[in-house]
Structure 1
Amino acid sequence: MTIQSSLDILREAFVTIMTVAGPVLLIALVIGLVISVIQAATQIQEQTLSFVPKVLAVIGSLIIFGNFMLNSIIAYTEKIFEIISGL
């Protein structure tokens, strides 16, 4: 195994991580931003107020994107096993 192939595997791992974690983190970020704007507008500074909507949004996004996320991880794992078996 060359250094280039190792770097390709590492690059693909990072791309897979961003692809899998990206939608959930982006939804949590948007929900947090919306709640923060609402809190700033109403001057309600309760810390737990933003927690519940974020948790519900993350659970909802996991339900929606779960199949895609699992298929991405399985495809990457299968590729890694193919590379290992080829050594």
Structure 2
Amino acid sequence: MQAIDLGAILEQTFLVALKLSTPALLTALGVGLLVSLVQAVTQLNEATLSFVPKVLAIGAVMVMAGSFMTATLISFTRHLFDQLILVGTT
């Protein structure tokens, strides 16, 4: 396997990881900001108060984006195995 091929595979791996983690991370960011705003307005400074809404929101996003994430991961895995087959034949 050439260094260029390995670099391309690593780049694709990082892009897939970014695609798969983005929905959960953006949801946690949005819910965290919203809960922090509510805590600042109501002066409730409880650290555990933001945990439950984040978990529920991330769970809902994972249910909604699960098919996209699964399809992306399966497609990438097939691509990797195809690359392995090409390396084995040369």
TM-score (norm 2): 0.94
Shift of 1:4: 0.8
> Counterpart of 1:69 in structure 2: which amino acid?
M
Unaligned runs of 5+ in 1: none
- Among all aligned residue pairs of Structure 1 and Structure 2, give the percentage whose two residues are the same amino acid: 38
> Counterpart of 1:73 in structure 2: which amino acid?
L
| Residue of structure 1 equivalent to 2:82 | 82
> Counterpart of 1:51 in structure 2: which amino acid?
F
Unaligned runs of 5+ in 2: none
| Residue of structure 2 equivalent to 1:5 | 5
Q: Deviations over 1:34-73 (max 9, x none)?
A: 1001101111001111000000001000000000001111
Provide the secondary structure at the position in 2 that maps to 1:50.
helix
Give the total of aligned pairs: 87
- 2:18 counterpart of 1:18: yes
Runs ≥4 residues deviating over 6 A? none
| Residue of structure 2 equivalent to 1:71 | 71
